[in-house]
Structure 1
């Protein structure tokens, strides 16, 4: 931890910005990218990402949670926190995506910020699933206050398809795909394979001879079957295996034949189209055209995902503020549907982004910032308490009359990251060097997706925090969820009511409200939670207010019920309703299992007369 030295208190050092970009209230020139200038911007950002050390990202979404209890809390395990973030990412939509490639050299940060305006739409006019998403009122109000132009977003926002959606779209379009060079299969050919290959080979030889002999009577011999004014023939195949055999065999005719794969709507191979060219130059011309057409189609299909793929291909560390929320949105919208568990999510994410650094975890290493969640507040406190000279250089990219208010947050993330590295004695430049010892200092903060743990505090399985600003942890098994105690009951009142109601409350315990309908009881002595739950189930050994509350509908459940509610996706507006549904479904499942077992036992005594 970095303690605040009294000698460094109250020191203020303003961030310096290049003269061409010095604006009141540190409004930097952010390049605003819409559908109209997206293609021109791609080459610029490609160069900037390639030459950068890091890429900062910041998203502006239509919402983050639908009910207070669905917000990620300290008492969430890594998996329940992920399930909450997953639920939000699948419901809400990204409208602004700010990207900022940047380098840090000593006290100088050079950044190239872009703010992309997004809006999902069916650009391909195909029978793809229609887009729909939810909006959180408070998020829309906040965006409107910042001058968000909803008309521009809808009309000129950049669309996109995820990688999985792109694969599905290609199958639906059924466009011919240039067959790549293949290595010969090492597996032994079956008799059927050999007969198939010889038949196709003979067919192609005869076809080529016929074309050479009767070029002047081309239409008479070949009919109207042509591809881009070149003669062609289709070879029907029944499987990918047959398609591979045909492409391998066509290597014998590689001088003047170009094979194309014709996909079927179901995703299987439908045919291999063989196109005959007139010369090597003509073949190169055709292949170049096909590759260019495929590239243009990919750009049209991918849309903004071109930027995501660009960042992924660069393998540069991604810096964010709130990585769990940001990266679940990115995975859901641009890569593939989110997997069911946090472990699967992290494995999938690392294939695209090997290193993700959340500035929140760097902030937690500095004691005055442990309670801070706002980036501007964090920067202000660092300026006041530490001597951290940082020179922000933002080369001009925005147009003269362009509104650059949107996307400012991503530049602040770059500045905050540089200041934190300076205070923590971490050299960001070591990431690109071979100095493994220095680089490992920053690596320790990479890929931590639990919002309330730090790099120096490895989470113990089953151990969670209860309050954000308290490092004390407790086992999930020692938590009990209580609901049905009525409205307008504070945590203090509930604790006092429980205190004299059962022997389990004679030891140290605490109460925290999750929302207006439900509270958590924390037993600091292991085993008392189980004692209390047994009492609630048997309705025995109760006295005073607890007995009265149970008669009025008080219910209790362990952490596993809460975990199950998140896992089953029972996201009701109140946690009490979600827990009620979870218990009801558990009872229904138990009853169904009981009936199945009873039926199985009965069947053992049934005599089948046909067997006699």
Structure 2
């Protein structure tokens, strides 16, 4: 049956076939600097009224070498190390966001595609990025029609939360003090030095204020007024006169603010932050009336809001998603959220446990469609392949509705992957019977039934509990487990050797290879050997590193063959030995002192599952 597109009441409906056939007609709203601010309220409303928020990132690259990629044989710890390495080097150029609802067999989607580029908007030295680009990624984006000029000149900039806090200090904007909420009840009794300090400041402020409220001050000639301002220490805050009181401790800040309460009818105190933190001075601004005082406070608040919005840039959207507490749907959750944490929250923690704890505060519910797929079939890395698998084996009709009409430009650029994720997620919910019936409580039921799929960041994990590295998988399309201690890494064999050829050579070379074992190439320089007989891996590694080796295996060792256990691979990832070839990284890891690798002392037993470019640096852009 040919899928059709129906236009009804200015709403677009797409069936599954139409989604794939007419992807260039998908109404993805493209957001750049020019329309970003105007779109924020619309985005905020759509996020607040959605059930889920799907995301999809397009980066300048992901992983430099084949073995750097997240693989089935990675534990959550090694996978995080790899994702962290990528996030700290590559940059996000596009960030697609799609708030959506699921109602029966229909998805109501409102997709946006944001074009990003890190830029020092406020001339504060942040962000000042030197990031890596992979030619393959740039080439792929160019083939899809990506406009790099528009990205650089019209891309939306941003600061992370941590960078924003630092930017406020560098900016040095005055901070208004709410004297009604300020409390000095806990302030210790003033010492003699405090009393002298306060009296001196009080006398100075009173004399300065009286001089400016004296009617004769306004009738003086301009030269006389200028000289008097210099003597009194008068400055200007906009159109209002002010005076600055230097302080050298938080104790003095409290004393000055307490003293200024005597002049609260006329003076508005502002804190001048120091770049190193704390307060370097207090500025007292003279207002002419209660209305003028309220106007000053509104002006300061509006200025702060405007500058904060400019500093945050695209992170405003990240904060909206975070504040909504809506479940976030992704197809590559670990890699995506490591990038998100690095660019929009704070520098990445050194280990995955701290990362997950930090991420959970901002995004308490993360759903990965890959984990939903694992309940009905093999985990497949491609969104299209997953959708095709479902289509062939299950009847799960799911229409997609777009409540707004696409413009010509919106149908030609990017962001379509996020709609594929929405559609795949909806179909998975249908197949897994997670979509509520008419007698159930809508999205509350759907959210509760998805609890078992929430916050799982590694294909080898079965739950959202603290990672223990219990198992990993070597092949993607098989769920058979193998313990990490039964896996060896082998390198130093002849180039262009296939896994089958290597397995044939190993068979019969030693008694450990008389039992069942498997071989998988990690990259062209290194292979993994999986022993199904317990303890055979340990025997093999010990023999390879002993003088008692003999037979065909000895000849292979003499030609350069080397072997090590999974712990050395962990050491490679945790130590940041990101060589182009895994063999070189393993050699360097073995040369490191044992004290440099704390993970060697881990008590958890690990298992895995088993089954069958060039760079360019853009500096100071």
- TM interval, short-chain normalised: 0.7 to 0.9
Alignment match, 2:291? 281
Residue 173 of structure 2: aligned partner: 175
- Corresponding residue number in structure 2 for 1:530: 538
How is 1:178-257 mapped onto 2 (pairs within 5 angstroms)?
Answer: 178-180=176-178, 182-184=181-183, 187=186, 189=188, 191-192=190-191, 195=195, 198-199=198-199, 202-203=202-203, 206-207=206-207, 210-211=210-211, 214-217=214-217, 219=225, 220=228, 222-247=232-257, 250-251=260-261, 253-257=263-267
After superposition, where does 1:51-450 map in structure 2 within 5 Å? Answer: 51-128=49-126, 130-180=128-178, 182-184=181-183, 187=186, 189=188, 191-192=190-191, 195=195, 198-199=198-199, 202-203=202-203, 206-207=206-207, 210-211=210-211, 214-217=214-217, 219=225, 220=228, 222-247=232-257, 250-251=260-261, 253-367=263-377, 370-427=378-435, 439-450=447-458
Give the CA deviation at 1:454.
4.8
Separation in 2, partners of 1:458, 1:585: 29
Say whether the 8 Å CA contact 2:247–2:280 is kept in structure 1.
yes
Structure 2: how far apart are the matches of 1:39 and 1:438? 33
Question: Is the contact between residue 436 and residue 445 of structure 2 (CA under 8 Å) also seen in structure 1?
Answer: no
Superimposed CA distance per residue, residues 184-216 of structure 1 (whole angstroms, 9 cap, x where no aligned partner)? 256451644953774477347624762476243
Question: Out of 573, 579, 582, which is 2:586 matched to?
Answer: 579
What is aligned with 1:25? 22
Q: Secondary structure of 2:592's partner?
A: helix
Distance 1:581 1:195, change over 3 A: farther
Task: Say which SS state the counterpart of residue 444 (structure 1) adopts.
Answer: helix
Inter-CA distance 415–213: structure 2 relative to 1 (3 Å threshold): closer
Deviation of the 1:533 alpha carbon: 2.3
The two structures have a TM-score, normalised by structure 1, of 0.86
1:545 to 539, 552, 573: 552
Classify 1:589/1:382 alpha carbon distance in 2 versus 1 (closer, same or farther; 3 Å): closer
Residue-by-residue CA offset, 1:365-406 (whole Å, 9 max, x unaligned): 112xx2433223333443443332323110225334544441
Q: Residue 6 of structure 1 corresponds to which residue in structure 2?
A: none
Q: CA RMSD in A?
A: 2.9
Distance in 2 (CA, whole Å) between partners of 1:589 and 1:325 is 26
**Per the alignment, in what secondary structure is the counterpart of residue 131 of structure 2?**
coil
Asked if 1:465 is matched to 2:473, the reply is yes
2-side partners of 1:77 and 1:547: how far apart? Answer: 32
Which moves more between the two structures, 217-226 or 133-142?
Answer: 217-226
For 1:505, the equivalent position in structure 2 comes to 513
Contact 2:198-2:256 within 8 A present in 1 as well? no
The answer to whether the aligner puts 1:494 opposite 2:502 as a matched pair is yes
Q: Distance in 1 between matches of 2:465 and 2:194?
A: 63
Is the 2:490–2:563 Cα contact (8 Å) retained in structure 1?
Answer: yes
For the 8 Å contact 2:454–2:464, the answer to whether it is kept is no
Structure 1 segment 448-459 matched on structure 2, within 5 A:
448-454=456-462
Structure 1 unaligned blocks of 5 or more: 1-11, 591-612
Native 8 Å contact 1:501 1:546 kept in 2: yes
d(CA) in 2 for partners of 1:577 and 1:289?
60
Q: Deviations over 1:541-576 (max 9, x none)?
A: x22221012112222222221111111111000001
Structure 1 residues 461 and 33 mapped into 2: Cα distance closer, same or farther (>3 Å)?
closer
Number of residues of Structure 1 aligned to a counterpart in Structure 2? 575
Correspondence for 2:221: none
Distance 1:109 1:237 in 2: 59
Give the C-alpha shift of residue 229 in structure 1.
2.3
Is the partner of 1:463 in helix, strand or coil?
coil
SS at match of 1:135: strand
Q: What is the rounded CA distance, in whole Å, between the counterparts of 1:435 and 1:338 in structure 2?
A: 33
The answer to whether the 8 Å contact 1:104/1:428 transfers is no
Call closer, same or farther: CA 1:212–1:154 in 2, change over 3 Å: closer
Question: In 1, distance between residues paired with 2:436 and 2:160?
Answer: 31
Kindly indicate whether the alpha-carbon contact (under 8 Å) linking 1:62 and 1:139 is maintained by their aligned counterparts in 2. yes
Whole-Å separation in 2 of the counterparts to 1:433 and 1:323: 28
Q: How many angstroms does 1:247 deviate by?
A: 3.8
8 A contact 2:98–2:418 mirrored in 1: yes
- Cα 1:456–1:311 shift into 2, 3 Å: closer
Structure 1's 361 and 589: CA in aligned 2 closer, same or farther, altered over 3 A?
closer
Secondary structure, in 3 states, of the residue corresponding to 2:71? Answer: coil
Contact in 2 for aligned 1:319/1:357 (Cα 8 Å): yes
Unaligned stretches of 5+ residues in structure 2: 219-224, 598-621
Please report how far the alpha carbon of residue 148 of structure 1 lies from its aligned counterpart in structure 2 after TM superposition. 1.0
Tell whether 2:519 aligns with 1:521: no
Paired residue secondary structure (1:101): strand
TM-score, scaled to structure 2: 0.85
Q: Greater shift after overlay, 494-503 or 204-213?
A: 204-213
Indicate if the aligned counterparts of 1:478 and 1:522 stay in contact, CA closer than 8 A.
yes
